[in-house]
Chains A and B, each alone.
Chain A
Amino acid sequence: MTRYVFIESRDPFESCDTKFIEETAIAVKERGHDVTVFLVQNGVLAARQNTGRLGRLAEAGVTLLADNFSLRERGIKSEELAHGIQESGISKLVEAIVQEHTKAIWH
């Protein structure tokens, strides 16, 4: 099994191609791989409950992490995060990408 870590740095309201991550992550998960999407920079704007952006990823069983530094910079509080999204430090990202058989993809 290969682990996939997608790092989403783009604002979903600015970049329509954030759909690429959603579709690819779900497709890879459906093939039986372990998948994490780490939201960072403007990517965390999709993590807010009221955007309804990442529901399909959560339902598919993809691990969703949101960078706490990026959340703080944008004034997004933990209680505003959508169900299934965990606030995380960048250390979790580093731990995830230095594992064997892991593909790290920045978007």
Chain B
Amino acid sequence: MKERSLTLALMDPPYESANSTTALRIISVALEQGINVNVFAYEGAVCLPLKDQSPHANPVKGTTVEEEEHPTTKAFVSSLLAIGKDGPLLTWVNCGLCVDERGAANVVDGVKRGSPADFFKMASESTNTLVIPTK
């Protein structure tokens, strides 16, 4: 059977929109189904794997960092990259210009730097492509 692959273009920054959660769910399920996944993170989405993110306590509820178990997108991306290390593969490319604009180069291991030319190549070679734009 022909190997299937899905390319996603993401644009939303973390903690702004439910789009990020849905995108991470799609990636997770696709890997579970044995589908190779390419992600091209553009604009604010390059901050999804930003290493400097840290979980926080919730002073309103009076909970500690440990009690709050605040999920970070960098942790989700790291986990997905670990799952998609050997096959099915997850390739995550951050747009280099978007990274430089935002000073967002300190990302979790496994994230690559690229350009829209990478997105074009990934889309051309994939079974399908889904673009999740900002509103």
Q: Indicate, yes or no, whether A interacts with B.
A: yes
Q: Name the A residues within 8 Å of B132 (CB-CB).
A: 106
Contact indicator A106/B133 (Cβ below 8 Å): yes
With both chains docked as a complex, state the minimum distance between the C-beta of B37 and any C-beta of chain A, in angstroms: 10
Contact indicator B130/A90 (Cβ below 8 Å): no
Knowing A102-B128, A104-B128, A104-B130, the reply to whether A94 touches B6 (Cβ < 8 A) is: yes
Knowing A91-B29, A91-B33, the reply to whether A97 touches B128 (Cβ < 8 A) is: yes
Contact indicator A94/B22 (Cβ below 8 Å): no
| Residue A63, interface by CB 8 Å | no
Query: How many Å lie between the Cα of A99 and that of B35 in the bound state?
Result: 11
Q: Name the A residues within 8 Å of B26 (CB-CB).
A: 90, 93-94
Query: How many Å lie between the Cα of A69 and that of B28 in the bound state?
Result: 14
| Residue A1, interface by CB 8 Å | no
| Residue B82, interface by CB 8 Å | no
Which residues of chain B (6-47) have a CB below 8 Å from chain A?
Answer: 6, 18-19, 22, 25-26, 29-30, 32-33, 35
| Residue B4, interface by CB 8 Å | yes
| Residue B127, interface by CB 8 Å | yes
Count, chain B residues at interface, CB 8 A:
21
Q: Name the B residues within 8 Å of A102 (CB-CB).
A: 128
With both chains docked as a complex, state the minimum distance between the C-beta of B38 and any C-beta of chain A, in angstroms: 12
Q: Name the A residues within 8 Å of B22 (CB-CB).
A: 9, 40-41, 67, 90
Partner of B18, one of A7, A9, A90: A9
Which residues of chain A (28-52) have a CB below 8 Å from chain B?
Answer: 40-42
Q: Name the B residues within 8 Å of A40 (CB-CB).
A: 22
Query: How many Å lie between the Cα of A89 and that of B25 in the bound state?
Result: 10
Instruction: Give 29 pairs: A residue, B residue, CB < 8 Å, sorted on A.
Output: A7-B130, A9-B18, A9-B19, A40-B22, A41-B22, A67-B22, A89-B29, A90-B22, A90-B29, A91-B33, A94-B6, A94-B29, A94-B30, A94-B35, A95-B33, A97-B6, A97-B128, A98-B5, A98-B6, A98-B30, A98-B33, A98-B35, A99-B128, A100-B127, A102-B128, A104-B129, A106-B131, A106-B132, A106-B133
Binding site for A on B (CB under 8 A): 4-6, 18-19, 22, 25-26, 29-30, 32-33, 35, 127-133, 135
